[in-house]
Amino acid sequence: MKIQPRNGRSIVFWSCDDGGEFLTHKSLDEALEDVLWPILPSKLGEVREVFGWARVEMPGDEFILDSVMEALSGCLIEWDNPEESEILESPEIYRAAQVLAATVAQHAKVFACEIVHSEKVKVLDWVRENKPDWLKDDLRGAK
């Protein structure tokens, strides 16, 4: 089944936790295997929700430019009087800030992620299809 996440962004991580504090699983199966293995016998009748995560989209150039200009303004507080300074009105400073903002937008890799897909999975069906040996493992007590 081909998954079409919201906004067409690629899913980069999967998790059975919608909090997403630690996102490490690269596939839905990997996320389910990790959460089910330690607790499987008691969870065969359950339905688990699995979440697909994508990196948030980079904010637009204007947002980055505003951030650069705000950072420059913060610097002025340290070594100039921002209320009397015309440095931020300078066309040269504005063009340099635009170049810096464009460079950041081009090279930055967004780390933050958000849920773009969720799917409910019947545990027993998933185990039968993906890990049938778990049902035969006498050491786990699964029947």
| 65-111 residue pLDDT tens | 888 888 888 777 777 665 666 777 788 888 988 898 888 888 887 78
Q: Say yes or no to pLDDT of 114 above 60.
A: yes
Mean pLDDT of 36-51: 81
Closest CA to 49 of 61, 39, 36: 36
Given pLDDT bands bounded at 50, 70 and 90, which one contains residue 129?
very high
- Burial label for 45, CB within 10 Å (0-12, 13-18, 19+), is exposed
Q: With contact defined as beta carbons under 8 Å apart, do 44 and 127 qualify?
A: yes
Inter-residue contact 12 to 54 (CB < 8 Å): yes
Nearest CA to 20 out of 140, 103, 107, 118 is that of 118
Lowest mean pLDDT among 78-82, 108-112, 115-119, 130-134: 78-82
* Confidence category of residue 137, pLDDT binned at 50, 70, 90: low
Say what the pTM is: 0.62
pLDDT band at 6; cut points 50, 70, 90: low
Is 32:121 a contact under the CB 8 Å cutoff? yes
- Burial string for 102-119 (b: 16+ CB within 10 Å, else e) reads eeeeeeeeeeebeebbee
